A and B are shown apart, each in its own frame.
Chain A
Amino acid sequence: MWRIRMHGRGGQGIKTASQMLGSAGFYSGFQAQDFPLYGAERRGAPVIAFTRISKDAILERGPISSPDIILIGDETLLNDPQSAPLCGADPSTVIFVNSDRMPESLASNFSVTAVNLTDLCLQHLDNRMVYSSALSAAGARLLGIIELPDLLQAVEDELTGVSSQVLRGNLNLAREIFEIIQPAVISEKANSPLIAKSLVFPQHLPVVDGAPIILDPGNMALRKTGNWRVERPKIDYEQCNNCMICYARCPDGVIRTAPDGRPEIDYDHCKGCLICAQECPGHFINTVRETGMFP
């Protein structure tokens, strides 16, 4: 069995990528299974999706903890302790990163492929950053067991309802990525004997700990959601007239009034919803693409 885990953000097409790869595996004559995992969050929040492809019946469900391939659609997630895209990776794990440079800290420990999918997406998809076709193509090619026509069929089937122009772009994108990347060497994971978990009998706690009670307000400040941003709102202070409508409209309360009276964005917590840019009456808030940083 091949186990593929994909990491990305809400809105980047990660779930669809896992489904395209699942369908491609299925069309190539294998058993296949795919599954996404996300919470009650929204665009920009970390998303994980899983695809299993196997010659035999798949007797697994749910998250993949020891993946053969990890596909990282958004390199900024490498910094995110909650997403933890490298969790469960060992030296045999094949890692793919959407990036224009080879992250050295990764390359020393793992077999890593880095391709700048973002630029290819922008080029093929009319300036959109949706990685579903690109990431599934990368996964299919790294696996080395999926034929290109099966991948293209899967892309087409999973994109039912899009315009013919968008479909053509996605097919071209998948084809190009399939050609750029070379199949990886994936070693079969050895079966180790089952070891019993050591279970504990829970201890009764006082209700203040035993019930889901939060006594300390304001602890959201500890959860830095700034790296959810795909695009950054940037106030043009040359033009801004301090009307503070952005401050009033920000759904997360991350725009404050600076001592000099200007609105100021807290980039540690701004999730990049860009409502401020939409609401600014003079259109004085610009949007700038975020570029990733490695740890």
Chain B
Amino acid sequence: MKTSKKIMLTGNKAAAWGARMAAVEYVPAFPITPQTEIVETLAKWFADGTLQGKFTNMDSEHSMFMAAGSAGATGVRVFTASSSQGILHGMESLYTITGWRTPMVIVNVSRALATPLTLEPDHNDVLSTRDCGLIQLHAETCQEVFDFILMGYRIAEDADVCLPVLVNLDGFYLSFTREPVLIPDEEEVRSFLPLYTATQPVFQASRPMARASAVFGGATYTSFKLQQELACRNAENCFNRVAQDFEKHFGRLYVPVEMFHLDDAEYVFVMSNSFATKGKSAVLKLRQQGIKAGLLKLRLFRPFPGEAIASALAGHAKVAVIDQNLAPGMGGITYPEIVTSLYACEDRPDKILSVIGGLGGKDIDDQDFMAIIEHLDKPDSRTPLYLYDENDVSGFNRLQQIAKLKEAIS
């Protein structure tokens, strides 16, 4: 009897359920808001016997990612999660373990980076891991979080890839947001994602091996780095293969970039993660007003599906790339990547506007989307466009007065 069920879950719980249904065998953990609920939930399931294997509290994210990579090298299915400052603290380990080429799934719950310290999301944390050699899948809904973890293991463990997969979800907007998630039947999951058997040599007590040899000489280093590059690029085809198989089992098809009302769109928003929902809502409202808007959602971010993005955006007149991140002195991080993918395209958009918004969880609302449309219509608008308005300025001024209150009194 099939026992699939639809239940209300936060993004964090959906992530924990993804790990549970993947039958993960080892979870090294370190808590950080807004990710903690994931590892708390898994800790409980390991403690009560729901999950078989080992859950270990580590002393830091740096150790946590090293433990995850090492455990992956013993041939067990590994899951771990982090966020924000934690991801940055583990950065050295992330580069290191991707070079080990051991599969695993990592969940990052996006949270903006200090300073100033904050808890709400933007994407500077996940994009800082852009060049580590990880596969990155960005989720818009709690269902995508769950589904991407199952798909993530298939991609990570594929013999053509053998790399960690990072699944990203926005803190608060997804991590603490409950919505219905379909948890499929366990047998169905097993037929899509069998229990893990390593396709590469693994550490065994009786069989010493070296897994992270040092090299001296650029040519040897280059050889290994190019292998990482090829493996990472292989992951795009692998994603498509896995997505088709996923559809066969579960009926949902994921393509690397989602096209929402794109066919006849004159204005296109390029977005990712949970705020894409807000973008879709704005597209529908704009269309009611007779403005032909559409949205392109980035799902697979590494490897970067440049050709899929270029063919989706080709022929559309005006494109706004909305970056919920900031590279000070440069602007949006994904903007140049999108523009690059379009460079060789003959019918590339007339205008590609860089937009910075949603920093530190700042909302992007319908009026923001309308402002973007207006700027797309202006002949020469300044770029990047910051989604920052009069209310933000007056609120900031009020805060400044409070910060200077004592000075004002004396």
The interface of chain A, by Cβ under 8 A from chain B, is 39-40, 202-215, 217
Contacts and interface: CB of A to CB of B under 8 A. Distances in A.
Interface in B185-218: 199-201, 208-216
B101 interface: yes
Contact of A210 (B101, B199, B216): B101
B101 A39 contact: no
A202 B201 CA distance: 23
A76 to B, nearest CB: 21
Q: Which 8 A-B pairs have the closest CB atoms?
A: A210-B227, A214-B210, A211-B101, A212-B213, A204-B230, A207-B162, A202-B226, A39-B216
B209 A207 contact: no
A184 B100 CA distance: 52
Contacts of A212: 99, 210-215, 224
Given A40-B214, A211-B99, A213-B201, A205 B209 contact: no
A215 B73 CA distance: 13
Given A202-B223, A202-B226, A213-B210, A207 B216 contact: no
Using C-beta atoms within 8 Å of the partner chain, give the interface range for chain B: 20 to 34
Nearest to B224: A212
Given A213-B201, A215-B209, A204 B234 contact: yes
Contact of B160 (A204, A208, A211): A204
Nearest to B210: A214
Contacts of B228: 210
Contacts of A206: 159, 200
Contacts of B213: 212-214
A113 to B, nearest CB: 31
A171 to B, nearest CB: 36
Given A204-B230, A204-B234, A207-B162, A213 B216 contact: no
B203 to A, nearest CB: 11
Contact of B208 (A208, A209, A211, A217): A217
Contacts of A214: 209-210, 213
Contact of A204 (B100, B201, B227): B227
B231 interface: yes
Contacts of B223: 202
B55 to A, nearest CB: 27
A215 B211 CA distance: 8
Interface in B85-110: 99-101
Residue in A203, A204, A212, A213 with the greatest tally of chain B CB atoms within 10 Å: A212
A207 B231 CA distance: 9
Contacts of B201: 208, 213, 215
B200 A207 contact: yes
Contacts of B200: 206-208
Contacts of B215: 212
A214 B201 CA distance: 10
B210 A207 contact: no
Interface string B371-390: 00000000000000000000
Contact of A207 (B101, B212, B226): B101
A213 B199 CA distance: 14
B349 to A, nearest CB: 31
A203 B214 CA distance: 22
Nearest to B101: A211
A210 B231 CA distance: 9
A205 B208 contact: no
Residue in A39, A206, A213 with the greatest tally of chain B CB atoms within 10 Å: A213
A212 B234 CA distance: 19
Nearest to B228: A210
Contacts of A40: 214, 216
B159 A207 contact: yes
Nearest to A218: B208
A210 B199 CA distance: 13
14 contacts: A39-B216, A40-B214, A204-B160, A204-B230, A206-B159, A208-B201, A210-B231, A211-B101, A211-B162, A211-B227, A212-B210, A214-B210, A217-B209, A217-B210
Contacts of B226: 202
Contacts of B210: 212-214, 217
A204 B236 CA distance: 14
B224 A211 contact: yes
A208 B224 CA distance: 11
Contacts of B211: 211-213
B209 A202 contact: no
A275 to B, nearest CB: 23
Nearest to B162: A207
A278 to B, nearest CB: 28
B370 to A, nearest CB: 47
Given A207-B162, A211-B101, 7 more contacts: A203-B230, A204-B234, A211-B100, A211-B211, A215-B201, A217-B208, A217-B210
A265 B101 CA distance: 39
A40 B199 CA distance: 33
Given A207-B200, A208-B200, A202 B230 contact: yes
Interface string B286-326: 00000000000000000000000000000000000000000
B53 to A, nearest CB: 23
